[in-house]
Structure 1
Amino acid sequence: MNTKTIVITGGTTGIGFACASYLLAQNYRVIITGKNPDNVKNALEQLNHQAVGYVSDTSKLSDINTLVTTIKTTFGTIDGIFINAGIFKAASFEATTEELFDQTMNINFKGAFFTLQQFIPILNNPSSVVLNTSVAVFKAFADTSVYTASKAALESIAQVLNIELANKGIRVNMVSPGVTKTPIQKKSGMSDEAITNLLNHFSEVSPLKRIVEPQDIAPIVEFLLSEKSIPLRNEKMIVDGGSTL
């Protein structure tokens, strides 16, 4: 029986929730986080209360510190973490405000940076860190300048972390989703029509001939978290159905 304990930030919806569900089916111990108490409650109910959930805002360092302290007290150590919490809000470069810039960077990069930093003392040897980045890092999309920058910044530190954390047995790899059918589009402020057009477009241009679903990404994240990926360092698994070919 698998007894590994995995933390998933932003595990209440979308990719994070799909990964939590998949890992539970593979007999992992799963801890999810989310900043909305109702979302955490609903996610745990959908997971039949097999996971543990904590309310924690990735953009607040005080929340991160409290989360790590709580998990250390309850579980002692963990075997892996999926740094998944993130936001996307569409805005042209010229229309991007300082507020949007700070909000995006605080969650997608700063929050991810300090979440991992604070978890290092309770990560086992060996253990795995998976960063959720994006194909936007290498494939340009209009109205994504800050989002792209935040994900590129996250990718840029992975190789440094693999050098610095090697003696602790911590490996860092990335999953890079393409356009995926999740609540992130609705939260971005896109209209229902725009979302439908986006998903239809990528369904048509993808060799997969459908949009990528969160359930497609979950087994890949599990592979990166598992001991099957021990030889991998700084690898980026692109999961886009071939739409960026």
Structure 2
Amino acid sequence: MNKLNGKTALITGGSSGIGLATARLFKAEGARLAITGRDRERLAAARAQLGDDTLTIVSEAGCLNEIEAMLAQVDQHFGKLDILFLNAGIAEPTPLEQATEAQFDSIMRVNFKGVFFTIQKALPLLKPKASIIVTTSITNRSGTPNFSVYAASKAALRSLVQSLALTLIGRDIRVNAINPGPIDTEGFNRLPLPSEVFHAIKSDIEDRSPIKRFGAPDEVAKVALFLASEDSAYVVGEEIVVDGGMTLVCLP
């Protein structure tokens, strides 16, 4: 316990799913917390779980002005950051023939551009021995025909983590990634698909998974805690896969 005692953590996309599970665990381990999200009601519900001392910020992850405003609030409230967990992201089907420029720009803006510029603009707040954690996806390791733009955005993050890990290690800031497989989150369950298609996809994933189930957000949160804490002090530029063995059967 108390692996994060005295640490300050910012979790983007922290109002549900993996982000909220991680916020609960970080709080239990002694961290002071700020979380972001786009939905005021979900943020309020998250704060009710986490406590009134949690800073909750309505923020659009892909908008530079909102990123700057969000970090200004963190600076005013805490004055520093020790942990930056970049978990906010969006996913929606983009079949090649039907994908639009607006969809492409929206996914890349939130999933890639937002991460890059949040790291850039958070640098003045990040203290030596800080840990940056980025959520990628197993789609960056296997073909995903109907989610090609989402998969490409996550592959870009995988590359970014490696490059920024080398860029920032001289400042004593570590950068790593968590690569979740199928996780039973609100985001997954809200995918804009017809009900019968959604359930067919979910059943197919469970059947193909070596562990025969979806992961739980808490299982990913435990890996985030490892990367956030001194337990991972010698881990730099890595992407830890949390997928129940899914990529073992998905990759050629």
For 1:140 and 1:184, how far apart are their aligned partners in 2? 21
Question: 179-188 or 117-126: which moved more?
Answer: 179-188
Q: CA deviation at 1:215?
A: 1.1
Closer/same/farther in 2, CA of residues 51 and 191 from structure 1, 3 Å limit: farther
| Aligned twin of 2:55 | 52
Count of residues in correspondence between the two structures: 245
Give the letter aligned to residue 244 of structure 1: T
Using the alignment, how far apart are the partners of 2:110 and 2:206 within structure 1? 29
Cα deviations by residue, 1:22-76 (Å, 9 ceiling, x for unpaired): 1112221121001221221111112243522111111111111011111111111
Cα distance in 2 for partners of 1:210, 1:186 equals: 15
Report how far residue 187 of structure 1 moved: 3.5
For 1:29, the equivalent position in structure 2 comes to 32
Return 157-166 or 125-134, whichever deviates more: 157-166
**Counterpart among 152, 155, 163 of residue 152 in structure 1:** 155
Q: Tell me the amino acid that sits aligned with residue 15 of structure 2.
A: T
Which segments of structure 1 move beyond 6 Å, counting only runs of 4 or more? none
Query: What RMSD in Å do the two structures reach over aligned CA positions?
Result: 1.3
1:211 to 214, 229, 239: 214
| Residues 207, 113 of structure 1: alpha-carbon distance in 2 compared, 3 angstrom cutoff | same
Corresponding letter in the other structure for 1:168: R
Question: 1:110 corresponds to which residue?
Answer: 113
Query: Counterpart in 2 of 1:132?
Result: 135
2:217, 2:34 → 1: CA distance? 18
Structure 2 residue 60 is matched with structure 1 residue 64: no
Match of 1:7 in 2: 10
| Residue 196 of structure 1, CA deviation | 2.5
Query: Does the 8 Å contact 1:133/1:154 carry over to 2?
Result: yes
Q: Is the 8 A contact 2:134 2:176 kept in 1?
A: yes
Percent identity of the aligned residues? 37
Q: Residues 156-191 of structure 1, C-alpha deviation per residue, up to 9 Å, x if partnerless?
A: 111211221122111110100111111223443123
SS in structure 2 of the partner of residue 167 of structure 1: helix
Contact 1:88/1:187, CA 8 A, preserved across alignment: no
TM-score using structure 1 length: 0.95
Residue 194 of structure 2 is matched in structure 1 by 191
- List gaps (5 residues or longer) in structure 1: none
Matching residue within 227, 238, 241 for 1:238: 241
The answer to whether structure 1 residue 79 and structure 2 residue 97 are counterparts is: no
Counterpart pick for 1:101 among 83, 99, 104: 104
Match of 1:180 in 2: 183
Using the TM superposition, give the Cα deviation of residue 205 of structure 1 relative to its aligned residue in structure 2, in angstroms.
2.2
Equivalent position amino acid for 1:117 in 2 = Q
Q: Does 1:169 align with 2:152?
A: no
Displacement after TM superposition at 1:193 (Å): 2.9
* Aligned-partner Cα distance in 1 for 2:62–2:196: 30
Q: How far, CA to CA, are the matches of 1:193 and 1:48 in structure 2?
A: 39
